[in-house]
Amino acid sequence: MNEHLAARIQSSLVNGYLPCLFALAIAHELGVPPLEVGRTATATSVRISRCQLGLFGYGPKSEGKSKIVQAMPQVPDDLTARLRAALNPAGHLTCAAAFAVAQEAQRPRLEIANAAQSLDIHIAQCQLGCFT
C-alpha cells in the first residue's frame, strides 16, 4: 500500500469520511489513478462520501438522504443528445463520462445526474470504485 497516499487520505477526512471531491483532488495531486485512491481508502476502512453526482453519502438512508438526485422535469434536447452519445456499450453512463459531459456542456455534475435520472440512464463505474 502507498503509505503517502494513505496518510493523505487520512488528513483529508471530514467527519471520518473522504468526500469524493477530495478523493479526486488527491488523485490529481499525487498523480495516481482515482481507483487507487478508492482502493486505498477501502483498505484503510475509509468510506467515500458526498458523490459529486449525488448518488451516495448525503446522510442516513433511514432519513431518505442517501441520494440527492432529483429527476429533471424537462431535459434539454442538447443534453439528452450528449448523454445518449456518451453511453457505454451496455447502455450505461460511466462516472467519468458523466464528468466529461458536465465539462463539455458547462453544467454542474449533479445536473448531469438529474438529467440521467429523468432519461432512465443508469450511472455506473465510479472512478473511485465505489459502486462498480
Q: Confirm if 29 and 17 have CB atoms less than 8 A apart.
A: no
Asked if residue 14 is part of any domain, the answer here is yes
CA 59 from centre of chain: 16
Average pLDDT over residues 1-21: 94
Asked if residue 43 is part of any domain, the answer here is yes
C-alpha distances out from residue 79 to 3, 25, 91, 116, 125, Å = 41, 26, 16, 9, 21
Asked if residue 105 is part of any domain, the answer here is yes
Question: Concatenated DSSP letters for 69-110?
Answer: ----SS--HHHHHHHHHT--TTS-EEHHHHHHHHHHHT--HH
CA 29 from centre of chain: 18
Asked if residue 69 is part of any domain, the answer here is no
pLDDT at 1: 77
Q: Is there a single domain that holds both residue 7 and residue 43?
A: yes
Positive or negative, the CA dihedral 68, 72, 76, 79 is positive
Average pLDDT over residues 80-97: 97
Which one, of 124, 113, 115, lies nearest residue 78 by Cα? Answer: 115
Q: Is there a single domain that holds both residue 120 and residue 81?
A: yes
pLDDT tens per residue across span 56-86: 877 666 555 667 898 999 999 999 999 999 9
Asked if residue 38 is part of any domain, the answer here is yes
The span from the CA of 119 to the CA of 110, in Å, is: 14
Asked if residue 71 is part of any domain, the answer here is no
- Domain of 112 in residue numbering reads as 77-124
Asked if residue 58 is part of any domain, the answer here is no
pLDDT at 108: 97
pLDDT at 112: 97
Q: Is there a single domain that holds both residue 7 and residue 46?
A: yes
Total count of domains within the chain: 2
pLDDT tens per residue across span 13-33: 999 999 999 999 999 999 999
Q: Is there a single domain that holds both residue 82 and residue 118?
A: yes
C-alpha distances out from residue 58 to 3, 37, 101, 131, Å = 28, 20, 23, 15
Asked if residue 25 is part of any domain, the answer here is yes
